[in-house]
Structure 1
Amino acid sequence: MSAAVLTLAEAIEHYVADGASIALEGFTHLIPFAAGHEIIRQRRRELHLIRMTPDLIYDQMIGMGCARKLTFSWGGNPGVGSLHRLRDAVEHQWPRPLELDEHSHAGMAAAFCAGAARLPFGVLRGYLGTDLPAHNPNIRTVQCPFTGESLAAVPALNPDVTILHAQRVDRAGNVAIHGILGAAREAALAATTLLVTAEEIVDELPPAMNAIVLPHWVVAAVVVCRGGAYPSYAQGCYARDNAFYRHWDAIARERAGFLAWMDEHVLGTTDHRAFLAGLQQAAA
C-alpha cells in the first residue's frame, strides 16, 4: 500500500496542524465525524474549516474553539434546524469570533473544481442578480474573452488537508466511495494532503459502477475506522441515526450543556470506538 496505514490519532497528529485549512467533506453520508472528534481531542486551533454543507461535526468543532474561519454553503442541522454553536460564534463571538466566507453550492463546487485543476479561480453563472456578492468580497465578476458575457468568479479552494470517509480501501491504497458523492472527489484532488478513514481494508475493490475510485498516489494516509461516519450514514454499511440529529438540537442550545456533553463523550473518550460505546451505554 502506497498510503501509510495509521491510527486516527497518529494521522491527525502528523498531518493536521494548528492554523491549517481543512475540508471534512461528505454529502448527507460518509461525513468524517470520527476525524473531527480526534481534531477536537487534540485541541487543534486557528483552523480554516471548509465544507459544502457544514452540519453537526462543524458545529462541535466551532463550539470547541477549533475554528477561526468557515468557508461554506448552507449550514444547519439537516431536517431539524439551526446549528446553535455556529450561530453563537457568529452572533456573540463565543467561544471566539468566526470569519465567514459564504457561497452557494454551485460556487463551492466551482471553487473545488478549480482547486482540483490547479486553476486560480472558478467561473459560474450563479450569484448574478443576488445580494451575496455585496457581503462576500471573494465573489467577483470576469468577462468572457469570447462572448463578452459577465460571469461570476470565486477563488480556488486548495485545502491543506482534506479528510474523507469511505466504505473501502484496498491493500494498494485505492479508495472506493459508493453512494452520494457531493464534492468528495474534487475536495480530495484539490488538497495538498488527503487523509481517508474507511470502514475496512479489502483485497480487491468491488466494481466501480456509480462510485468513484481515488488512486493510491493521491492518498497520504489511511485509517481503518468502523462507524467513522456515525451519526451520519455509510451507504451499504449502516443507516443514519436520525434520533441523534434531533437530540443534538437540545444538546447544543446552551453552552453549559454542550460543553458537558463534549467533555463526557468526546474529550472523555480515547477514540471513536470508545465514543460509540459511551453513547450505547448512555442510551441503555
Structure 2
Amino acid sequence: MAEITSLRSAVQRLILDGDTVALEGFTHLIPFAAGHEIIRQRKSDLTLIRMTPDVIYDQLIGAGCVRKLIFSWGGNPGVGSLHRLRDAVEADWPRALELEEHSHADLANAYVAGASNLPFAVMRGYAGCELPAHNPTIRTIVCPFTGEQLAAVPAVRPDVTVIHAQKADRKGNVLLWGILGVQREAVLCAKRSIVTVEEIVDKLDAWPNACVLPAWVIDAVCEVPYGATPSYAHGYYSRDNQFYRAWDGISRGRDSFNDWIDHYVYGVADFEEFLSAASLKPRKEQL
C-alpha cells in the first residue's frame, strides 16, 4: 500500500546498492528528480533498465552509480550522443559499464511479461538481425502449435521501478496521462515502486479509461512539483529544449560534468533547490 512520503526517504528506504532499477518515462514524465536523489545519496552498483535512456541516465552513469545498463536505445533526444555513457563504455570512466541491448519491441514485451507474472516474452522478431549474437538473453523457441520459430526474452522484473506522474490522491492512487510508454507495466512488474507526482489532490477526477495505478501496487508516492524537468509533464509544463542542447557541451568533458554534478546535484539539498540554482523552473500550463 502506498505511503505518501518525501523523495529522500523513499529513495533511502527502497533503493539499495546493487539493485536493478527501472526509471521509465517516454518523451515526458521522465523522473529527473528521483534520478538526482539517487545520485545525491550515492547509490552504487545499480543495474539500470530503460527503453530509452537519455540525459538522466547519462548523469547517473557519469556519477558512478551504474554497473550495467539494459536498454533498447540511448541518446540525448534531438541533440546527439550521451557522452558520459560513451566514456563509460569506451574508457571505463568513471567505471566500466556492462551493456545489454534489446530492440524496442523486445524490451516492451519483456515489461509486459513481467507485469503478467510470466517467465518470458515471445514475439516475431530478430529475423536476419545480428543482435541475438551479441545478447545471450535473446533465444529462439519453437511454437508448439505451428512449428514457427519465434524470439523469446526473459521477463523484466526490477527490484524497484521509479516513474513520474501528474497526480496522486491522498490514498496514494496515481493518475497519469498524455504519451505513455511502459510506465504502468514497469510498476506492475517491480518488487517495489516509487512514484513522484506534480501534486497530491483530494480527488483524482479520473475520466473513463484513464490510466490509474492503484495505491496497492505502489510503495511510495512523493509530491515533487516540476519533478520531470527538463522533460515535460503533459498539462503542466513544456520541455526545456535549451537544457538538452546545453547538456551536450556540459557532458562532453569529465571536468565540466563533475563541476555540474558537484554544483547542481551534490551541492543542493533537493530538487526544488536544483531548479532554483539552475534557473529551470518552467511556467505552469493551464490545465
Bin for the TM-score computed over the shorter chain: over 0.9
Q: Which residue of 2 aligns with 1:32?
A: 31
User: How many Å apart are 1:211 and its aligned residue?
Assistant: 3.5
User: How many Å apart are 1:209 and its aligned residue?
Assistant: 4.7
SS at match of 1:207: coil
Q: Which residue of 1 aligns with 2:115?
A: 116
Query: Which amino acid is the alignment partner of residue 169 of structure 1?
Result: A
Q: Does 1:66 align with 2:83?
A: no
Q: Which residue of 2 aligns with 1:174?
A: 173
SS at match of 1:26: coil
The count of residues paired between Structure 1 and Structure 2 equals 280
Please report the TM-score for the alignment, with normalisation by the length of structure 2.
Answer: 0.96
Instruction: Please show how residues 67-82 of structure 1 align to structure 2 within 5 Å.
Output: 67-82=66-81
Q: Which residue of 2 aligns with 1:19?
A: 18
Q: Distance in 2 between matches of 1:67 and 1:158?
A: 17
Q: Distance in 1 between matches of 2:117 and 2:145?
A: 22
User: How many Å apart are 1:222 and its aligned residue?
Assistant: 0.6
Q: Distance in 2 between matches of 1:210 and 1:100?
A: 37
Instruction: Please show how residues 239-254 of structure 1 align to structure 2 within 5 Å.
Output: 239-254=238-253
Contact preservation (8 Å) 1:162, 1:187: yes
Instruction: Please show how residues 38-187 of structure 1 align to structure 2 within 5 Å.
Output: 38-187=37-186
SS at match of 1:259: helix
Q: Distance in 1 between matches of 2:208 and 2:127?
A: 36
Q: Distance in 2 between matches of 1:210 and 1:226?
A: 25
Please report the TM-score for the alignment, with normalisation by the length of structure 1.
Answer: 0.97
Instruction: Please show how residues 198-277 of structure 1 align to structure 2 within 5 Å.
Output: 198-209=197-208, 211-277=210-276
Q: Which runs of 5+ in 1 are unaligned?
A: none
- Kindly provide the CA deviation profile for residues 15-70 of structure 1, in whole angstroms up to 9, marking residues without a partner as x: 00000000000000000000000000000000000001000000000000000000
Q: Distance in 1 between matches of 2:256 and 2:12?
A: 28
Change (3 A) 1:214 1:145: same
Q: Distance in 2 between matches of 1:205 and 1:39?
A: 28
Contact preservation (8 Å) 2:31, 2:162: yes
Q: Does 1:189 align with 2:188?
A: yes
Q: Distance in 2 between matches of 1:25 and 1:210?
A: 21
Q: Distance in 2 between matches of 1:31 and 1:102?
A: 20
Query: Which amino acid is the alignment partner of residue 113 of structure 1?
Result: V
Contact preservation (8 Å) 1:161, 1:192: yes
> 4+ residue stretches of structure 1 with deviation over 6 A?
none
